[in-house]
Chains A and B, each alone.
Chain A
Amino acid sequence: MNQYFDIPSDLQHSYLGLIGLHLQEALLPVLFGLLIALPIALVCARFNWFYAPVLWVTTVLYAIPSLAFFVVLIDYTGATETTVMIPLTVYSLVLLVPAIVEGTRAVSPDTVAAATAMGFGSFRRFVQVELPIAVPAIMAGLRLAAVSSISLVSVGAIIGNQGALGNLLHDGMIYHRDPLIVTSVVTTAVLAIAVDGLLVLAQVLLTPWQPHGRAAARRARTGPGDDIGPGTDPAGDNVTGKDLTGTDVTGKDAAPQDAAALGEAAR
């Protein structure tokens, strides 16, 4: 086992330390990305014409290979964690802005109209109605962003030991210790899957009105044509007085679904 977990001293971290560093370098950018994406998406949702140029700019940024991004940034931010985290923030942004915009756009006009009739202003409507309904689509974007971010941190190894678990790759090569490379790849993959799973669970917590569990799976199999009305929802999740959002979403399973697929396609 020691061949796998004896971390060479030049990495200056224990195995667990590398994992912590890796999560930090990968997930902080996703968090920053989300914080920046929300206001951008709000503006895009408010002004339709703004979305196309935003999509173009973010797509161009996404096309820049991470390695080149890192190397160019060294000149400005040095061979530091910041240099790794800035591009990852940008990539997260690229995934999250379309996910939020498409998700909020998929909200039924009836719901929007109902909220407006209740006296919601556009900002309050965005935050309290459209965003919650768009959670599945946003989470789909977040999951992609988190998983790709965790994978990309490793590339930071090339710019001088800034790749957390990825640094094991370089060390595994120069010391001829192949097991370290296996450790790096497997640990990174497991981290990505674990974080992905956690986000799925977080989504369950965030969308209590969404059907979950076996009943939902059964309904899903029957297809969108055979929609079971909210009143007969066996999961019993809709009797929370949240009819405004609840009824609408259960009847519109396909909408966030489609937005998620679009989010994927927009990459």
Chain B
Amino acid sequence: MNLLHFLNSFFSDGANWHGENGIPHRLVEHVEYSAIALAIAAAIGLPLGLFTGHTGRGGYALSAFATGARALPSFGLLVLMTVWLGQLGTTPAMVPLVALAVAPILVTAHEAIRNVDPAPVDAARGMGMTSLSVLFQVELPVALPLILGGLRSAAIQVVSTATIAAYISLGGFGRYIIDGLAQQTYAQVVGGAVLVAGLALVTMGLFWAVGRLVVSPGVRRRR
């Protein structure tokens, strides 16, 4: 019951609730890094995935790109960017986080659009809808649950991986884990881990709620 003891001593320590090293401040930092990385990754991955899925082109290039992005080791990329850019700050941390998030967003967007039942798509074309209208009014609403799934999976990975940003002096919940390792205070490590895992679960819940809100009831029932 070591772990529970550590948890208790971490969360009951008043010093962990305010100031620069307090949980609220670290939470804001962690969410900030994750949100920026996810936004950049979505800005790259979504249009590309929707477009290639819609036209059905570039499948090979896309799967090669996604495999490449997945293959890059996040931690290595973080260290490499820090050394290459020769500066501290969020930029070196953004590169690995974005690289991590792009692959699932891109691949699921592409596959989701490609796998839309061709019957309604043909019907829409037959009705004289433009290519763009077909994409945004027919394919996208049907593919939305899967696309959201891709975003969710990217978001969870980013939240979990943003921990390593602390290795290059940034904040976030990773601070507790890195500091706890160096100072051999396990309460901090366990507390940090629980906070990150909790945030990841909240993120998952958030995407579930968004899904309830934006996915058309017709599509939801079918799945």
Contacts and interface: CB of A to CB of B under 8 A. Distances in A.
Asked if the two chains touch in their complex, CB atoms less than 8 Å apart, one says yes
Interface of A: 59-60, 62-69, 71-72, 75, 144, 147-148, 150-152, 154-155, 157-159, 163, 165-166, 169-170, 172-173, 178, 181-182, 184-185, 188-193, 196, 221, 223-225, 254, 257-258, 260-262, 264-267
Given A151-B71, A193-B67, A64 B153 contact: no
A97 B164 CA distance: 27
B218 to A, nearest CB: 19
Nearest to A192: B71
B171 interface: no
Contacts of A165: 76
Given A264-B107, A264-B150, A265-B152, A148 B177 contact: no
21 contacts: A63-B159, A64-B160, A64-B196, A65-B177, A67-B178, A68-B189, A154-B73, A158-B178, A173-B79, A181-B80, A181-B83, A185-B80, A189-B72, A193-B67, A196-B71, A221-B56, A258-B115, A261-B108, A264-B107, A265-B152, A265-B153
A59 B153 contact: no
Nearest to B82: A173
Tell me if A's interface is mostly helix, strand, loop or mixed: helix
B104 interface: yes
B74 interface: yes
A262 B111 CA distance: 10
Interface in B79-123: 79-80, 83-84, 104, 107-108, 111-112, 115, 118-119
Nearest to A148: B70
A188 B163 CA distance: 20
Contacts of B75: 151, 154-155, 157-158, 163, 166, 169
Contact of B186 (A59, A69, A75, A265): A75
Contact of B174 (A65, A170, A184, A190): A65
Nearest to A69: B193
A265 B70 contact: no
Contacts of A152: 73
Interface in B155-196: 156-157, 159-161, 163-164, 167, 174, 177-178, 180-181, 186, 189-190, 192-193, 196
